[in-house]
């Protein structure tokens, strides 16, 4: 599965843990009820630069993907866009790169795409929860992370089994083709040669006839 550079986790921790420029302590409320700072004024020049680096259509698609598959992440990205545009830019670009990889896989191998999408969901949810846990050390959050780790492992097992089945079927197909070739009688070679010779002679005769007609017309 696609690996995060670590930037995502840093941004998540900053977004959930920032309190007027200071890092939240373990005594702060859980991240699910975290206070959101008043949005800062959006720098128009920075916003324009963002759109130059990530097209508006790509940005819309990125946010739509996050909203569909991990709503909490989408809310965090919206908060980052209003309060820390540069961090939002980096996070959105990283997420968009992951989406591009997933979309290419969807075109080539839809079955494998479903597993990869589920792994992405697990990884994304784990990163968000780890960011929360880092602030509160909440045992309930730890249990959620453990459950997601189990789900991720189960998904990987399912993915590998599906790949194993595909490879077995492919190997069986190759073995059938080999069996067919091994069982082919030697007389088949003679028939193939006769067909090639007949076709070659027919082509040669056609060429001679065309040249003869051309010479007669001249």
- Tens-digit pLDDT profile for residues 178-198: 999 888 888 888 888 989 998
- Average pLDDT on 53-69 reads 90
Residues 89 and 16 in one domain: yes
**Do 46 and 114 share a domain, yes or no?**
yes
Query: In degrees to the nearest 10, what's the CA dihedral of 11, 16, 18, 23?
Result: -100
For residues 218 and 115, state if they share a domain. Answer: no
Is there a domain that residue 36 lies in? Answer: yes
Please tell me which residue, 16 or 118, carries the higher pLDDT value: 118
179 lies in some domain: no
Domain residue limits at 130: 7-151
- Using the predicted structure, report yes or no on whether residue 28 has a pLDDT greater than 70: no
Which of 122, 126, 141, 123 shows the shortest CA–CA distance to 33? Answer: 141
What integer pLDDT is reported at residue 9 of this predicted model? 55
pLDDT tens per residue across span 125-150: 998 999 889 888 999 999 999 999 99
Q: What percent of the chain has pLDDT over 70?
A: 74
Mean predicted confidence (pLDDT) in 32-61: 57
- Against a cut of 0.85, is the pTM above it? no
Q: Are residues 91 and 25 in the same domain?
A: yes
Per-residue model confidence (pLDDT) at position 18: 53
Per-residue confidence band for 13, with pLDDT thresholds at 50, 70 and 90:
low
**Domain boundary residue, one of 99, 128, 151:** 151
In angstroms, the CA 42 to CA 196 distance is: 74
Q: Say which residue, 215 or 12, is predicted with more confidence.
A: 215
147 shares its domain with 201: no
Q: Is residue 181 part of a domain?
A: no
Asked if residue 155 lies in contact with residue 116, where contact means CB atoms within 8 angstroms, the answer is: no
Q: Residue 160 domain-assigned?
A: no
């Amino acid at each position: 599965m696609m690996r995060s550079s670590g930037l995502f986790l840093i941004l998540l921790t900053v977004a959930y843990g920032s309190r007027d420029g200071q890092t939240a302590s373990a005594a702060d409320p859980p991240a699910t009820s975290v206070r959101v700072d008043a949005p800062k004024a959006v720098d128009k020049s920075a916003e324009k630069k963002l759109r130059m680096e990530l097209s508006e259509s790509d940005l819309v698609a990125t946010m739509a993907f996050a909203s569909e598959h991990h709503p909490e992440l989408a809310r965090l990205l919206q908060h980052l866009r209003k309060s820390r545009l540069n961090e939002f830019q980096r996070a959105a670009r990283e997420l968009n790169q992951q989406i591009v990889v997933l979309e290419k896989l969807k075109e080539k191998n839809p079955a494998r795409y479903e597993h990869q999408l589920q792994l992405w969901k697990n990884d994304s949810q784990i990163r968000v929860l780890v960011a929360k846990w880092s602030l509160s050390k909440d045992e309930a959050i730890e249990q959620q992370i453990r459950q997601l780790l189990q789900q991720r492992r189960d998904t990987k097992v399912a993915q590998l089994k599906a790949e194993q089945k595909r490879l077995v079927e492919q190997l069986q197909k190759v073995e059938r083709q080999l069996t067919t070739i091994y069982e082919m009688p030697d007389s088949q070679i003679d028939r193939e040669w006769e067909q090639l010779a007949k076709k070659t002679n027919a082509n040669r005769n056609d060429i001679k006839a065309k040249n003869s007609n051309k010479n007669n017309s001249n």
